[in-house]
Chains A and B, each alone.
Chain A
């Protein structure tokens, strides 16, 4: 007896209550290959290759040090400017690349999506994973900077057990970027203006995230906005855990985690609804 064939029903509209991650599991090999493709294709035929990932954060860090440290004199919790900025930027950059990448899922892949079916979520998921390479490179710069400034005696780097929390923070950030990205990408298929909003919105979002300043340096009346930003606790905790200074805000982390979960669920629902018919509107 032949094994039972999988039966597919193609119907007009998918119900709202379908997350679609089960299909992605079926296609896990595709996710792996997409990750590989993203990484390989980025480096082929560029002169400096991955070196770009070193150059851009280092340059940014030095400009920040000059503008925010030397000119604006924003306090950095007694941590040397470059180390402070880099510790914020590393995770922030990861969020940013995940978010902007995922938010253009449909528009960037229109040609491919228009020709063949596979669970569309595989695309942003692969992107979030392949961005880890870039993150790892920047993380290694952060480690190098910390060691250098520690050796110079500019501050005392005392990483502790809290370092073990870092993977969880990165994972949360990945999911947050993914959730927000797929949410926006579903909307951009129909309303293109959102793409413009995303590009300058993320630039502004950084300023209400404690990347260039510590939470503790905030004036009381503005602090709540920064506190509402679900990225803030992640960036702040990342710095705390990595540098071993300050205290973790478990409440803030719980807030971020809940926010991430909610966004991810909403994003997936919307994404799944969009993927069925976006070819007609894109």
Chain B
């Protein structure tokens, strides 16, 4: 049987009017009504401009979303990413029926429960028990269904002791846990989750991610998940949508999509060629090029390297006049400008030789499973140790990122939460059992 998509978003656009909604709207309403009667077209929809925050609004009508198209199949976990103001929340509001699109149509096959904000509809004076029923009913559940799931919800949220306490006495963590537990146990065919996980502690976040995974993989339900946590998206989602200024930028497999998305913010530079006149160096020595790639020479177009793979820094320099011996060194910096390590060439064959005029190529391998996830830059120096003298230096020219694509082979394993540490080596662990 041909499966129909659980969510179909067809040509959806949403227009908002900026500024005050007041007397001017009444006037516009009248103008609009008049145009409808006479020409059959709304004069304001034609004026709407793309929702780009970087340019000042020239027009009071703005497209928060414009021509959004995508489909989500049953059982899929679809991630939605985008900068603040890209239209994520508006899209979720339309999907959860809080507001309507201005143009287009959404088809939902199945019951939807949405978690746009934690504790939606919780009443502070009511007890945890009463709020479970209230929240469940708001999300469209029948009383008997809630009764069946009640113990499971309470256990998942870990609030057994407090079910008869008004929720206003709950800690914010308990509040979040209870709210998520209700939504996740509803058994809707479609679950819409908006960045709720930012609130709970790491342990609960992990539990939520696990639950969402289970909901999709075991029960075949559809999850739409909005998050700024790229690691969670990589781990959880089968596909993701990137929104930009109210339009769909890309839809696709999460790793590639996220990398493309991140590239739009991050300036990467993996290759640098110098002209004669601005090349670092002196009269007798000039740096010609520098490049960073994988060991097989492949260079990711996004500027993001997979955390487990070896990287090769390759540089070429030209010696114009015979020179005495000198060596090569590199320094690696992270995003906070911390110098993570320095390396001097103590292994290559040429390092102690005198240089005749020629083009020389050097390579340094930065092993996989060494750097953590993040952004880095590399400086290269050609210098003499005694007496110390720098001949050529290229400071932080190469800029790149390292990402964990959740292959399971990195130091992360399958752990998707925050991971501190300046470096991330994959250590060899062993264990044994001794009898008592």
Q: Measuring CB to CB, which residues of chain A are less than 8 angstroms from any residue of chain B? A: 5-14, 27, 29-30, 32-34, 36-37, 40-41, 44-45, 112-118, 190-191, 276-277, 279-281
Assess whether B109 is in contact with A7, with CB atoms less than 8 Å apart. yes
In chain A, what residue has the closest Cβ to B106? Answer: A10
Q: Is B374 located at the chain interface by the 8 A CB criterion?
A: no
Sample (30) of A-B pairs whose CB atoms are under 8 Å apart: A5-B109, A6-B109, A6-B111, A8-B107, A8-B108, A9-B106, A9-B108, A10-B94, A10-B100, A10-B107, A10-B108, A12-B103, A29-B137, A29-B143, A30-B138, A32-B143, A33-B137, A37-B123, A45-B125, A115-B98, A115-B120, A115-B121, A116-B98, A116-B139, A118-B138, A118-B140, A190-B25, A276-B100, A279-B98, A280-B99
**Nearest B residue to A26 by beta-carbon distance?**
B140
Q: B187: CB under 8 A from chain A?
A: no
Q: Which residues of A contact B133 (CB under 8 A)?
A: 33
Residues of B within 8 A of A276 (CB): 99-100
Q: Mark B126-155, 1 if CB is under 8 A from A, else 0.
A: 100010011001111111000000000000
On whether the beta carbons of A27 and B123 are closer than 8 Å, the reply is no
Does B166 have its Cβ within 8 Å of any Cβ on chain A?
yes
Known: A29-B142, A281-B25. A117 touches B98 (CB 8 A): yes
Contact: A279 with B120, CB < 8 Å? no
Cβ contact within 8 Å between A7 and B137: no
Measured between beta carbons, the chain A residues less than 8 angstroms from B101 are: 10-12
- If the complex has contacts A45-B125, A115-B98, A116-B120, are A6 and B25 also in contact, measured as CB distance less than 8 A? no
Q: In the complex the two chains form, what is the Cα distance from A276 to B130 in whole Å?
A: 28
Query: Of the candidates A6, A44, A190, A279, which one forms a contact with B110 in the assembled complex, judged by CB atoms under 8 Å apart?
Result: A6
Contact check, A191 vs B120: say whether CB atoms are below 8 A apart: no
CA distance A6 to B97 in the complex (A): 15
Report B217-272 residues with CB < 8 Å from chain A CB: none
CA distance A14 to B100 in the complex (A): 9
* Ranked 5 nearest A-B pairs via Cβ: A117-B97, A30-B137, A10-B106, A115-B120, A8-B108
Please give, as numbers and ranges, the residues of chain A lying within 8 Å of B174 by CB-CB distance.
Answer: none
**Pair A279/B99 contact, Cβ less than 8 Å:** yes
* B290 at interface, CB cutoff 8 A: no
Known contacts being A10-B106, A40-B125, is A114 close to B138, with CB within 8 Å?
no
B312 at interface by CB-CB < 8 Å: no
List, in ascending order, chain A residues with CB within 8 A of B126's CB: 37, 40-41
> CA A36 – CA B143 in complex, angstroms?
13
Contact: A27 with B140, CB < 8 Å? yes
B104 within 8 A of A: yes
Query: Does B134 lie within 8 Å of A13, measured CB to CB?
Result: no
Pair B107/A9 contact, Cβ less than 8 Å: yes
List, in ascending order, chain A residues with CB within 8 A of B25's CB.
190, 281
A112-B120, A276-B99 given. 6 additional CB < 8 A pairs?
A8-B97, A37-B134, A44-B166, A114-B93, A116-B116, A116-B120
- B16 at the A/B interface (Cβ < 8 Å)? yes
Shortest distance in angstroms between A177's beta carbon and chain B's nearest beta carbon? 23
Which residues on the A side are within 8 Å of B121 (C-beta)? 112, 115-116
Smallest CB separation, B405 vs chain A (Å): 34
Flag whether B289 is at the interface (Cβ < 8 A): no
Measured between C-beta atoms, what is the minimum distance from B164 to chain A in Å?
Answer: 13
A13's partner among B93, B98, B100 (CB-CB below 8 A) is B100
- What is the CA–CA distance of A252 and B355 in the complex, to the nearest angstrom? 113
Least CB distance, B252 to chain A, in whole angstroms: 25
State the Cβ distance, B45 to closest chain A Cβ, in Å: 11
A9 to B142, CA, bound (A): 22
CA distance A5 to B117 in the complex (A): 26
CB < 8 Å neighbour of B96 from A40, A116, A191, A281:
A116
Minimum CB distance partner of B109 in chain A: A5
Does B26 count as interface, using CB distance less than 8 angstroms? yes
Q: B98, A113: Cβ atoms under 8 Å?
A: yes
A129 to B109, CA, bound (A): 33
> In the complex, what distance in Å separates the CA atom of A5 from the CA atom of B5?
12
B71 part of interface (Cβ distance < 8 Å): no
* B193 interfacial contact with A, CB 8 Å: no
A116/B102 contact (C-beta < 8 A), A6-B111, A8-B97 known: no
Distance, CA A237 to CA B133, complexed state (A): 40
Whether B95 sits at the interface, judged by CB under 8 Å, is: yes
B142 to chain A: closest residue by CB: A29
- Least CB separation from A36: chain B residue: B130
A40 → B minimal CB distance (Å): 6
Query: Which A residues lie within 8 Å of B111 (CB)?
Result: 5-6
Which residues from 69 to 128 on chain B have a C-beta closer than 8 Å to any C-beta of chain A? 93-112, 114, 116-117, 120-121, 123, 125-126
Q: Complex formed: what's the CA distance from A32 to B137 in Å? A: 9
Closest approach, in angstroms, between the C-beta of B271 and any C-beta of chain A? 47
Chain B residues whose CB sits within 8 angstroms of the CB of A13 once the complex forms = 100
Contacts of B103 in A (CB 8 A): 12
Q: How far is the CB of A44 from chain B (nearest CB, A)?
A: 5
Chain A minimum-CB-distance residue to B145: A29
In the complex the two chains form, is B125's CB within 8 Å of A10's CB? no
Contact residues in A for B166 (Cβ distance below 8 Å) = 44
